[in-house]
Amino acid sequence: MTQDLPEGLMERVRAAIAAAAAEEVKPRFGRLSAHDIRHKGPNDVVTVADLAMEHRLTRDLLDLLPGSLVVGEEACAEDPSVKDRLGSGELVWLVDPIDGTHNFVRSRPLIAVIVALVRRGETVAGWIHDPLTGTSVTAEKGAGCWQDGRRLAVAAAEPVTAMVGLLATGFLPEPTRAAVNAKRETFLRPTKGWFCGGQEYMALCQGSLHFALYGGLQPWDHAAGVLLHAEAGGYSALLAGSRYAPTTDEKGLLLAPDQASWQALHAHLFGA
């Protein structure tokens, strides 16, 4: 194993995620009642499925890797100090139990479970799972990106305005946000995003999207996806040009097929 992970860990984690999603998430899709949903903040909801999934994965992941720590999105919502574990542990799991909860609540089939394994601040493995189709995309650092036994590759580079991608600008500061949004119609089939980073990262790795721009960078949303994208041959960086890390506090991440495409997209969106 390239990162000295226990033999078979990648598959055991994938299987644990798939089993949990099949029991905790899929049966509840399209069947939530009002008392299954609550608001944890403005425009931020959580469901009984999120909580059940995170509880189960926390138990299963700690069993698979004794001595590790878990940072889950819902645990952080209850106690923000949980996020501090990300910088304190040798091996830390990042868990987004249902990415795309707003879609889940609305019965839109764009949801995912995201898990990343971080060692001393670096993502060394990632899993994104679609609970509705059973599809998993996985990567171990240095070993490629895989979907159910098939190696994935990002889309080939194209001229900037011929690329298909998404601009999720919601957390960018003004006037940067307005300037980027003004560029939206210069792209082929531009989109604001699917409200599910897991599905978006899967599409990037499968080659059906060329690029993505994200403003907000919560680690459970992006740590696994950035690794998967890199292992599929893609290039990404923060808007200032530095490489992404799960512990970053910056806003803005741009992903592209290669470094030259990244530079061309960055110049197109933000100027020289």
Structural domain count, the chain: 2
* pLDDT at 221 (0 to 100): 97
Strand ranges of the sheet holding 122-129, from the earlier edge strand across to the other edge? 69-72, 91-99, 112-119, 122-129, 136-140, 145-147, 150-151
Question: Per the domain annotation, does 18 fall within a domain?
Answer: yes
Mean per-residue pLDDT for 78-102?
94
**Structural domain boundaries, residue 241:** 160-270
Assign 261 a pLDDT band (cuts: 50, 70, 90).
very high
Per residue in 97-144, pLDDT (tens digit) is 999 999 999 999 999 999 999 999 999 999 999 999 999 999 999 999
% of the chain with per-residue pLDDT over 90: 89
CATH at residue 238 = 3.40.190.80
Q: Are residues 228 and 140 in the same domain?
A: no
Percent of the chain whose predicted confidence (pLDDT) is above 70? 98
118, 151, 184: which is the final residue of a domain?
A: 151
What does pLDDT average to over the chain? 95
Q: Kindly state whether residues 122 and 51 are assigned to the same domain.
A: yes
Based on the domain organization, do 141 and 179 belong to the same domain? Answer: no
Asked if residue 15 is part of any domain, the answer here is yes
Q: What pTM, to 2 d.p., does this model score?
A: 0.96
Phi, psi angles (nearest 5°) of residue 74 = -75, -35
Per-residue pLDDT band for 188 (boundaries 50, 70, 90) equals: confident
**Is the same domain home to 136 and 184?**
no
Based on the fold, state whether residues 144 and 201 are members of the same structural domain: no
Q: Are 122 and 197 found together in one domain?
A: no
Q: What is the pLDDT of residue 3?
A: 60
